[in-house]
A and B are shown apart, each in its own frame.
Chain A
Amino acid sequence: MFQWFHRLASLKNFYRLAEIITPWLAVLCAILLAVGLYRGLVVAPTDYEQGESYRIIYVHVPSAWMSMFVYMVIAFCSAIYLVWNMKLADIVAQASAPMGAAFTFLALATGSLWGKPMWGTWWEWDARLTSELILLFLYIGYMALRGAFENSAAGAKAAAILALVGVVNIPIIHYSVEWWNTLHQPASITKFDTPSIHISMLIPLLMMALGFKLFYLVNMFSRTRSMILEREASTSWVRNRAQENNL
Protein backbone atom coordinates (compact mmCIF):
# COMPACT_ATOMS: atom_id res chain seq x y z
CA MET A 1 0.00 0.00 0.00
CA PHE A 2 2.63 2.51 1.05
CA GLN A 3 4.94 1.48 -1.72
CA TRP A 4 2.17 2.10 -4.21
CA PHE A 5 1.50 5.44 -2.59
CA HIS A 6 5.14 6.33 -2.75
CA ARG A 7 5.41 5.39 -6.40
CA LEU A 8 2.38 7.46 -7.31
CA ALA A 9 3.82 10.36 -5.38
CA SER A 10 6.85 10.45 -7.62
CA LEU A 11 6.22 13.25 -10.07
CA LYS A 12 7.64 11.26 -12.95
CA ASN A 13 5.27 8.33 -12.44
CA PHE A 14 2.28 10.57 -11.94
CA TYR A 15 3.12 12.43 -15.13
CA ARG A 16 3.15 9.17 -17.10
CA LEU A 17 -0.07 7.93 -15.48
CA ALA A 18 -1.87 11.22 -16.18
CA GLU A 19 -0.59 11.16 -19.74
CA ILE A 20 -2.12 7.73 -20.33
CA ILE A 21 -5.53 8.17 -18.71
CA THR A 22 -6.30 11.79 -19.62
CA PRO A 23 -7.44 11.09 -23.23
CA TRP A 24 -9.79 8.32 -22.04
CA LEU A 25 -11.29 10.55 -19.39
CA ALA A 26 -11.65 13.34 -21.94
CA VAL A 27 -13.62 11.12 -24.32
CA LEU A 28 -15.86 9.88 -21.52
CA CYS A 29 -16.37 13.45 -20.31
CA ALA A 30 -17.36 14.67 -23.79
CA ILE A 31 -19.88 11.83 -24.19
CA LEU A 32 -21.43 12.42 -20.76
CA LEU A 33 -21.71 16.17 -21.24
CA ALA A 34 -23.18 15.81 -24.73
CA VAL A 35 -25.75 13.18 -23.74
CA GLY A 36 -26.51 14.92 -20.44
CA LEU A 37 -27.07 18.27 -22.12
CA TYR A 38 -29.25 16.74 -24.83
CA ARG A 39 -31.36 14.83 -22.35
CA GLY A 40 -31.52 17.78 -20.00
CA LEU A 41 -32.28 20.53 -22.47
CA VAL A 42 -34.36 18.62 -25.02
CA VAL A 43 -35.71 15.33 -23.69
CA ALA A 44 -36.54 16.19 -20.05
CA PRO A 45 -40.09 17.50 -19.57
CA THR A 46 -40.86 21.13 -18.86
CA ASP A 47 -41.30 21.96 -15.21
CA TYR A 48 -44.83 22.54 -13.97
CA GLU A 49 -44.00 25.63 -11.91
CA GLN A 50 -40.83 27.05 -13.39
CA GLY A 51 -41.38 26.40 -17.10
CA GLU A 52 -38.28 26.10 -19.26
CA SER A 53 -36.11 28.24 -17.04
CA TYR A 54 -35.50 25.39 -14.60
CA ARG A 55 -33.19 23.83 -17.21
CA ILE A 56 -30.38 26.04 -15.95
CA ILE A 57 -30.21 23.52 -13.11
CA TYR A 58 -28.16 21.28 -15.43
CA VAL A 59 -25.29 23.75 -15.27
CA HIS A 60 -25.98 25.45 -11.96
CA VAL A 61 -26.18 22.45 -9.63
CA PRO A 62 -23.17 20.53 -11.04
CA SER A 63 -20.98 23.63 -10.82
CA ALA A 64 -22.16 24.33 -7.27
CA TRP A 65 -21.34 20.75 -6.30
CA MET A 66 -17.95 21.00 -7.97
CA SER A 67 -17.16 24.28 -6.22
CA MET A 68 -17.43 22.49 -2.87
CA PHE A 69 -15.77 19.31 -4.10
CA VAL A 70 -12.70 21.11 -5.44
CA TYR A 71 -12.25 22.97 -2.16
CA MET A 72 -12.32 19.63 -0.36
CA VAL A 73 -9.69 18.30 -2.78
CA ILE A 74 -7.52 21.34 -2.08
CA ALA A 75 -7.90 20.94 1.68
CA PHE A 76 -7.17 17.20 1.50
CA CYS A 77 -4.08 17.76 -0.64
CA SER A 78 -2.96 20.58 1.68
CA ALA A 79 -3.17 18.27 4.69
CA ILE A 80 -1.13 15.63 2.85
CA TYR A 81 1.40 18.26 1.80
CA LEU A 82 1.79 19.61 5.32
CA VAL A 83 2.10 16.19 6.93
CA TRP A 84 4.20 14.23 4.42
CA ASN A 85 5.66 17.14 2.46
CA MET A 86 4.51 15.43 -0.74
CA LYS A 87 5.17 17.73 -3.68
CA LEU A 88 2.51 16.14 -5.87
CA ALA A 89 -0.24 17.04 -3.40
CA ASP A 90 0.83 20.67 -3.47
CA ILE A 91 0.86 20.72 -7.26
CA VAL A 92 -2.64 19.20 -7.41
CA ALA A 93 -3.89 21.81 -4.94
CA GLN A 94 -2.29 24.59 -6.91
CA ALA A 95 -3.70 23.28 -10.19
CA SER A 96 -7.17 22.89 -8.71
CA ALA A 97 -7.60 26.33 -7.14
CA PRO A 98 -8.35 28.40 -10.27
CA MET A 99 -10.70 25.68 -11.50
CA GLY A 100 -12.58 25.65 -8.20
CA ALA A 101 -12.87 29.42 -8.35
CA ALA A 102 -14.17 29.13 -11.92
CA PHE A 103 -16.81 26.57 -10.87
CA THR A 104 -17.84 28.83 -8.00
CA PHE A 105 -18.15 31.79 -10.32
CA LEU A 106 -20.17 29.70 -12.77
CA ALA A 107 -22.51 28.61 -9.97
CA LEU A 108 -22.95 32.25 -8.92
CA ALA A 109 -23.54 33.50 -12.45
CA THR A 110 -26.05 30.78 -13.31
CA GLY A 111 -27.72 31.23 -9.92
CA SER A 112 -28.13 34.90 -10.64
CA LEU A 113 -29.50 34.18 -14.13
CA TRP A 114 -31.91 31.68 -12.63
CA GLY A 115 -32.92 34.21 -9.99
CA LYS A 116 -34.23 36.65 -12.58
CA PRO A 117 -37.20 34.53 -13.72
CA MET A 118 -37.71 32.91 -10.30
CA TRP A 119 -37.33 35.77 -7.84
CA GLY A 120 -37.69 38.66 -10.27
CA THR A 121 -34.26 39.98 -9.37
CA TRP A 122 -30.71 39.29 -10.49
CA TRP A 123 -29.45 38.89 -6.98
CA GLU A 124 -31.25 37.61 -3.94
CA TRP A 125 -29.49 37.25 -0.59
CA ASP A 126 -30.42 33.62 -0.56
CA ALA A 127 -28.46 31.43 1.87
CA ARG A 128 -26.92 29.19 -0.76
CA LEU A 129 -25.96 31.99 -3.15
CA THR A 130 -24.41 33.92 -0.27
CA SER A 131 -22.41 30.86 0.83
CA GLU A 132 -21.17 30.43 -2.72
CA LEU A 133 -20.11 34.08 -2.80
CA ILE A 134 -18.12 33.63 0.41
CA LEU A 135 -16.58 30.46 -1.01
CA LEU A 136 -15.44 32.51 -4.00
CA PHE A 137 -13.77 34.95 -1.59
CA LEU A 138 -11.99 32.04 0.09
CA TYR A 139 -10.70 30.78 -3.27
CA ILE A 140 -9.49 34.26 -4.21
CA GLY A 141 -7.73 34.63 -0.87
CA TYR A 142 -6.07 31.23 -1.30
CA MET A 143 -4.74 32.09 -4.74
CA ALA A 144 -3.71 35.60 -3.71
CA LEU A 145 -1.75 34.33 -0.71
CA ARG A 146 0.10 31.77 -2.78
CA GLY A 147 0.88 34.33 -5.45
CA ALA A 148 2.17 36.89 -2.96
CA PHE A 149 5.15 34.79 -1.87
CA GLU A 150 8.39 35.10 -3.81
CA ASN A 151 9.66 31.87 -2.29
CA SER A 152 7.26 29.33 -3.77
CA ALA A 153 7.86 26.67 -1.08
CA ALA A 154 6.88 29.10 1.70
CA GLY A 155 3.89 30.21 -0.38
CA ALA A 156 2.78 26.62 -0.80
CA LYS A 157 2.95 25.96 2.95
CA ALA A 158 1.13 29.19 3.81
CA ALA A 159 -1.58 28.47 1.25
CA ALA A 160 -1.96 24.95 2.64
CA ILE A 161 -2.52 26.28 6.16
CA LEU A 162 -5.04 28.77 4.84
CA ALA A 163 -6.89 26.00 3.00
CA LEU A 164 -7.16 24.01 6.23
CA VAL A 165 -8.36 27.07 8.16
CA GLY A 166 -10.89 27.61 5.40
CA VAL A 167 -12.16 24.06 5.46
CA VAL A 168 -12.83 24.28 9.19
CA ASN A 169 -14.71 27.49 8.57
CA ILE A 170 -16.79 26.43 5.57
CA PRO A 171 -19.45 24.52 7.54
CA ILE A 172 -19.57 27.27 10.18
CA ILE A 173 -20.00 29.94 7.53
CA HIS A 174 -22.58 27.85 5.70
CA TYR A 175 -24.78 27.25 8.72
CA SER A 176 -24.45 30.76 10.09
CA VAL A 177 -25.46 32.17 6.72
CA GLU A 178 -28.42 29.81 6.63
CA TRP A 179 -29.41 30.93 10.10
CA TRP A 180 -29.00 34.58 9.18
CA ASN A 181 -31.14 34.00 6.13
CA THR A 182 -34.06 32.42 7.97
CA LEU A 183 -33.83 35.16 10.58
CA HIS A 184 -34.08 38.06 8.16
CA GLN A 185 -36.09 36.79 5.27
CA PRO A 186 -39.85 36.63 5.25
CA ALA A 187 -40.94 33.12 4.35
CA SER A 188 -43.15 34.30 1.50
CA ILE A 189 -40.29 34.42 -0.98
CA THR A 190 -40.04 31.39 -3.22
CA LYS A 191 -37.54 28.98 -1.81
CA PHE A 192 -35.98 26.03 -3.54
CA ASP A 193 -36.93 23.53 -0.92
CA THR A 194 -35.11 20.52 -2.37
CA PRO A 195 -38.33 19.39 -4.04
CA SER A 196 -38.56 15.77 -5.06
CA ILE A 197 -37.21 15.69 -8.58
CA HIS A 198 -38.63 13.40 -11.25
CA ILE A 199 -36.41 10.60 -12.45
CA SER A 200 -36.44 11.90 -16.07
CA MET A 201 -34.93 15.17 -14.79
CA LEU A 202 -32.62 13.52 -12.27
CA ILE A 203 -30.76 11.21 -14.66
CA PRO A 204 -29.50 14.02 -16.95
CA LEU A 205 -28.56 16.00 -13.83
CA LEU A 206 -26.45 13.14 -12.54
CA MET A 207 -24.87 12.70 -15.96
CA MET A 208 -23.98 16.38 -16.01
CA ALA A 209 -22.58 16.14 -12.49
CA LEU A 210 -20.36 13.23 -13.48
CA GLY A 211 -19.40 15.02 -16.68
CA PHE A 212 -18.36 18.10 -14.70
CA LYS A 213 -16.29 15.92 -12.41
CA LEU A 214 -14.49 14.34 -15.33
CA PHE A 215 -14.03 17.76 -16.92
CA TYR A 216 -12.31 18.83 -13.72
CA LEU A 217 -10.13 15.73 -13.67
CA VAL A 218 -9.08 16.11 -17.30
CA ASN A 219 -8.16 19.75 -16.82
CA MET A 220 -6.55 19.17 -13.45
CA PHE A 221 -4.39 16.39 -14.91
CA SER A 222 -3.22 18.50 -17.81
CA ARG A 223 -2.55 21.52 -15.58
CA THR A 224 -0.70 19.26 -13.14
CA ARG A 225 1.38 17.83 -15.95
CA SER A 226 2.52 21.22 -17.17
CA MET A 227 3.31 22.28 -13.59
CA ILE A 228 5.36 19.11 -13.08
CA LEU A 229 7.34 19.88 -16.23
CA GLU A 230 7.89 23.43 -15.04
CA ARG A 231 9.13 22.42 -11.59
CA GLU A 232 11.21 19.49 -12.78
CA ALA A 233 12.63 21.29 -15.81
CA SER A 234 16.21 20.63 -14.73
CA THR A 235 15.85 16.88 -14.11
CA SER A 236 17.09 14.32 -16.57
CA TRP A 237 13.75 12.64 -17.29
CA VAL A 238 12.17 15.90 -18.39
CA ARG A 239 15.17 16.63 -20.61
CA ASN A 240 14.92 13.18 -22.13
CA ARG A 241 11.22 13.66 -22.79
CA ALA A 242 11.91 16.98 -24.44
CA GLN A 243 14.54 15.39 -26.66
CA GLU A 244 12.26 12.50 -27.61
CA ASN A 245 9.62 14.96 -28.73
CA ASN A 246 12.17 17.17 -30.53
CA LEU A 247 11.33 20.17 -28.38
Chain B
Amino acid sequence: MLEAFNAVLNRDLRLAMRRRGDWVNPLVFFVIVISLFPLGVGPDTELLRQIAPGIIWVASLLATLLASETLFRADFDDGSLEQLVLSSQPLSVLVLAKVLAHWLITGLPLLFLSPLVAVVLQLQGRSIPALMASLLLGTLTLSLVAAIGAALTVGLRKGGVLLALLVLPLFIPVLIFGSSSVLAVEGGFPVQAHLSMLGALFLLSLALAPLAIAASLRIIYE
Protein backbone atom coordinates (compact mmCIF):
# COMPACT_ATOMS: atom_id res chain seq x y z
CA MET B 1 0.00 0.00 0.00
CA LEU B 2 2.84 2.36 0.88
CA GLU B 3 4.59 1.40 -2.34
CA ALA B 4 1.53 2.23 -4.37
CA PHE B 5 1.26 5.53 -2.51
CA ASN B 6 4.87 6.38 -3.33
CA ALA B 7 4.52 5.27 -6.93
CA VAL B 8 1.55 7.57 -7.53
CA LEU B 9 3.28 10.41 -5.69
CA ASN B 10 6.48 10.09 -7.73
CA ARG B 11 4.65 9.76 -11.00
CA ASP B 12 2.57 12.89 -10.38
CA LEU B 13 5.54 14.95 -9.27
CA ARG B 14 7.54 13.91 -12.32
CA LEU B 15 4.66 14.72 -14.63
CA ALA B 16 4.21 18.12 -13.00
CA MET B 17 7.87 18.96 -13.46
CA ARG B 18 7.45 18.34 -17.17
CA ARG B 19 4.21 20.31 -17.53
CA ARG B 20 5.29 23.57 -16.03
CA GLY B 21 2.14 25.53 -16.89
CA ASP B 22 0.07 23.51 -14.46
CA TRP B 23 1.80 24.77 -11.39
CA VAL B 24 3.34 28.06 -12.53
CA ASN B 25 0.05 29.55 -13.73
CA PRO B 26 -1.79 29.39 -10.39
CA LEU B 27 1.22 31.05 -8.74
CA VAL B 28 1.24 33.89 -11.23
CA PHE B 29 -2.50 34.15 -10.78
CA PHE B 30 -2.00 34.45 -7.01
CA VAL B 31 0.46 37.31 -7.40
CA ILE B 32 -1.67 39.11 -9.99
CA VAL B 33 -4.84 38.92 -7.88
CA ILE B 34 -2.96 40.33 -4.89
CA SER B 35 -1.49 43.18 -6.89
CA LEU B 36 -4.95 44.07 -8.18
CA PHE B 37 -6.18 45.01 -4.72
CA PRO B 38 -3.92 48.01 -4.08
CA LEU B 39 -4.86 49.21 -7.56
CA GLY B 40 -8.52 48.80 -6.71
CA VAL B 41 -8.67 50.28 -3.22
CA GLY B 42 -5.84 52.79 -3.50
CA PRO B 43 -2.27 52.75 -2.15
CA ASP B 44 -3.24 53.72 1.40
CA THR B 45 -0.71 51.85 3.57
CA GLU B 46 -2.90 51.65 6.66
CA LEU B 47 -5.93 50.35 4.78
CA LEU B 48 -3.83 47.76 2.96
CA ARG B 49 -2.36 46.50 6.19
CA GLN B 50 -5.82 46.05 7.63
CA ILE B 51 -7.20 44.08 4.71
CA ALA B 52 -3.98 42.25 3.80
CA PRO B 53 -4.77 38.96 5.65
CA GLY B 54 -8.14 38.76 3.94
CA ILE B 55 -6.66 39.55 0.53
CA ILE B 56 -3.89 36.98 0.83
CA TRP B 57 -6.29 34.33 2.03
CA VAL B 58 -8.92 34.97 -0.63
CA ALA B 59 -6.20 34.91 -3.28
CA SER B 60 -4.92 31.57 -1.91
CA LEU B 61 -8.45 30.17 -2.02
CA LEU B 62 -8.85 31.20 -5.64
CA ALA B 63 -5.40 29.93 -6.62
CA THR B 64 -6.11 26.54 -4.99
CA LEU B 65 -9.45 26.39 -6.74
CA LEU B 66 -7.89 27.22 -10.09
CA ALA B 67 -5.14 24.65 -9.62
CA SER B 68 -7.47 21.87 -8.50
CA GLU B 69 -9.24 21.85 -11.84
CA THR B 70 -6.24 20.09 -13.39
CA LEU B 71 -5.97 17.56 -10.56
CA PHE B 72 -7.75 14.66 -12.30
CA ARG B 73 -8.28 16.15 -15.74
CA ALA B 74 -5.23 14.80 -17.61
CA ASP B 75 -5.52 11.36 -15.98
CA PHE B 76 -9.18 11.23 -16.89
CA ASP B 77 -8.46 12.16 -20.50
CA ASP B 78 -5.72 9.58 -21.05
CA GLY B 79 -7.47 6.80 -19.11
CA SER B 80 -4.94 6.35 -16.32
CA LEU B 81 -7.56 7.46 -13.80
CA GLU B 82 -9.62 4.42 -14.73
CA GLN B 83 -6.59 2.22 -14.05
CA LEU B 84 -6.28 3.78 -10.59
CA VAL B 85 -9.95 3.05 -9.90
CA LEU B 86 -9.56 -0.53 -11.12
CA SER B 87 -6.34 -1.19 -9.20
CA SER B 88 -6.33 -3.60 -6.29
CA GLN B 89 -4.92 -0.97 -3.92
CA PRO B 90 -7.39 1.06 -1.85
CA LEU B 91 -8.46 3.99 -3.99
CA SER B 92 -8.62 6.44 -1.08
CA VAL B 93 -4.90 5.93 -0.42
CA LEU B 94 -4.04 6.44 -4.08
CA VAL B 95 -6.05 9.65 -4.33
CA LEU B 96 -4.42 10.87 -1.12
CA ALA B 97 -1.06 10.50 -2.88
CA LYS B 98 -2.40 12.45 -5.85
CA VAL B 99 -3.68 15.22 -3.60
CA LEU B 100 -0.38 15.37 -1.73
CA ALA B 101 1.57 15.61 -4.99
CA HIS B 102 -0.79 18.29 -6.15
CA TRP B 103 -0.36 20.24 -2.94
CA LEU B 104 3.43 19.96 -3.15
CA ILE B 105 3.41 21.60 -6.58
CA THR B 106 0.61 24.14 -6.14
CA GLY B 107 0.16 24.74 -2.40
CA LEU B 108 3.71 24.70 -1.11
CA PRO B 109 4.98 27.39 -3.53
CA LEU B 110 2.22 29.69 -2.25
CA LEU B 111 3.73 29.28 1.18
CA PHE B 112 7.14 30.43 -0.02
CA LEU B 113 5.62 33.30 -1.94
CA SER B 114 3.58 34.53 1.01
CA PRO B 115 6.33 36.51 2.86
CA LEU B 116 6.86 38.45 -0.34
CA VAL B 117 3.21 39.43 -0.75
CA ALA B 118 2.96 40.10 2.98
CA VAL B 119 5.72 42.70 2.67
CA VAL B 120 4.13 44.19 -0.42
CA LEU B 121 0.84 44.57 1.47
CA GLN B 122 2.57 46.25 4.45
CA LEU B 123 2.03 43.45 6.97
CA GLN B 124 4.27 43.61 10.00
CA GLY B 125 7.27 41.28 10.04
CA ARG B 126 6.09 39.44 13.13
CA SER B 127 2.86 38.27 11.44
CA ILE B 128 4.74 36.46 8.68
CA PRO B 129 5.37 33.24 10.69
CA ALA B 130 1.67 33.11 11.60
CA LEU B 131 0.74 33.72 7.97
CA MET B 132 2.98 30.88 6.82
CA ALA B 133 1.80 28.49 9.53
CA SER B 134 -1.84 29.22 8.74
CA LEU B 135 -1.20 28.83 5.02
CA LEU B 136 0.56 25.50 5.61
CA LEU B 137 -2.40 23.99 7.46
CA GLY B 138 -5.00 25.86 5.44
CA THR B 139 -3.81 25.06 1.92
CA LEU B 140 -3.51 21.37 2.82
CA THR B 141 -7.16 21.42 3.89
CA LEU B 142 -8.16 23.40 0.83
CA SER B 143 -6.42 20.95 -1.50
CA LEU B 144 -8.24 18.02 0.10
CA VAL B 145 -11.64 19.72 -0.07
CA ALA B 146 -11.08 21.01 -3.59
CA ALA B 147 -10.16 17.49 -4.68
CA ILE B 148 -13.67 16.32 -3.75
CA GLY B 149 -15.13 18.94 -6.07
CA ALA B 150 -12.61 18.10 -8.79
CA ALA B 151 -13.50 14.40 -8.53
CA LEU B 152 -17.22 15.15 -8.72
CA THR B 153 -16.87 17.33 -11.82
CA VAL B 154 -14.07 15.60 -13.74
CA GLY B 155 -16.49 13.62 -15.88
CA LEU B 156 -18.29 16.77 -16.98
CA ARG B 157 -17.31 18.75 -20.01
CA LYS B 158 -17.92 22.15 -18.45
CA GLY B 159 -16.71 21.59 -14.92
CA GLY B 160 -14.88 24.84 -14.23
CA VAL B 161 -17.52 27.23 -12.95
CA LEU B 162 -19.45 24.39 -11.35
CA LEU B 163 -16.33 23.40 -9.40
CA ALA B 164 -16.12 26.91 -7.97
CA LEU B 165 -19.78 26.80 -7.03
CA LEU B 166 -19.38 23.48 -5.19
CA VAL B 167 -16.10 24.10 -3.45
CA LEU B 168 -15.95 27.79 -2.49
CA PRO B 169 -18.70 27.59 0.19
CA LEU B 170 -16.81 24.69 1.77
CA PHE B 171 -13.66 26.83 1.90
CA ILE B 172 -15.27 29.38 4.22
CA PRO B 173 -14.16 27.94 7.61
CA VAL B 174 -10.54 27.79 6.43
CA LEU B 175 -10.78 31.36 5.19
CA ILE B 176 -12.18 32.55 8.52
CA PHE B 177 -9.59 30.87 10.72
CA GLY B 178 -6.73 31.53 8.29
CA SER B 179 -7.19 35.26 8.01
CA SER B 180 -8.13 35.66 11.66
CA SER B 181 -4.89 34.01 12.78
CA VAL B 182 -2.92 36.69 10.93
CA LEU B 183 -5.23 39.40 12.25
CA ALA B 184 -4.67 38.10 15.77
CA VAL B 185 -0.92 38.54 15.51
CA GLU B 186 -1.35 41.96 13.93
CA GLY B 187 -3.54 42.96 16.86
CA GLY B 188 -1.10 41.51 19.41
CA PHE B 189 -3.24 38.56 20.47
CA PRO B 190 -2.13 34.92 20.84
CA VAL B 191 -2.51 32.94 17.66
CA GLN B 192 -2.63 29.45 19.08
CA ALA B 193 -6.41 29.00 19.11
CA HIS B 194 -6.74 29.93 15.44
CA LEU B 195 -3.97 27.59 14.39
CA SER B 196 -5.43 24.78 16.51
CA MET B 197 -8.73 25.18 14.69
CA LEU B 198 -6.95 25.08 11.33
CA GLY B 199 -5.15 21.93 12.48
CA ALA B 200 -8.45 20.36 13.49
CA LEU B 201 -9.99 21.19 10.12
CA PHE B 202 -6.96 19.68 8.39
CA LEU B 203 -7.17 16.43 10.37
CA LEU B 204 -10.90 16.14 9.76
CA SER B 205 -10.49 16.63 6.03
CA LEU B 206 -7.52 14.28 5.97
CA ALA B 207 -9.69 11.56 7.50
CA LEU B 208 -12.86 12.08 5.46
CA ALA B 209 -11.95 13.70 2.15
CA PRO B 210 -10.09 10.70 0.63
CA LEU B 211 -13.20 8.56 1.14
CA ALA B 212 -15.41 11.14 -0.55
CA ILE B 213 -12.92 11.59 -3.40
CA ALA B 214 -12.70 7.83 -3.97
CA ALA B 215 -16.49 7.46 -3.93
CA SER B 216 -16.84 10.34 -6.40
CA LEU B 217 -14.31 8.84 -8.79
CA ARG B 218 -16.04 5.43 -8.68
CA ILE B 219 -19.28 7.01 -9.89
CA ILE B 220 -17.66 8.00 -13.18
CA TYR B 221 -16.81 4.43 -14.08
CA GLU B 222 -19.96 2.72 -12.91
Contacts and interface: CB of A to CB of B under 8 A. Distances in A.
Interface of A: 82, 134, 137-138, 140-141, 144-145, 148-149, 153-154, 157-158, 161-162, 164-166, 168-169, 172-173, 176-177, 179-180, 183
Contacts, number: 71
Contacts of A183: 180
B220 interface: yes
Contacts of B220: 154
B74 interface: no
A154 B222 contact: yes
Interface residues of B, number: 28
A152 B31 CA distance: 40
Nearest to B158: A148
B158 A165 contact: no
A145 B222 contact: no
B180 A137 contact: no
Given A148-B156, A161-B152, A138 B169 contact: yes
Contacts of A134: 169, 172
Contacts of B155: 149, 154
Contacts of A148: 153, 156, 158-159, 162
15 contacts: A82-B215, A138-B169, A141-B165, A148-B158, A148-B162, A149-B155, A149-B156, A158-B219, A172-B173, A172-B204, A173-B173, A176-B176, A177-B176, A179-B176, A180-B180
B177 interface: yes
Pairs A-B, 3 closest by C-beta atoms:
A176-B173, A137-B169, A180-B176
Contacts of B159: 148
- Interface SS majority for chain A: helix
Given A138-B169, A144-B166, 7 more contacts: A134-B172, A137-B168, A148-B153, A148-B159, A154-B220, A158-B152, A172-B173
B216 interface: yes
Contacts of A165: 148, 170, 212
Contacts of B201: 172
A141 B169 CA distance: 9
A161 B156 contact: no
Nearest to A178: B176
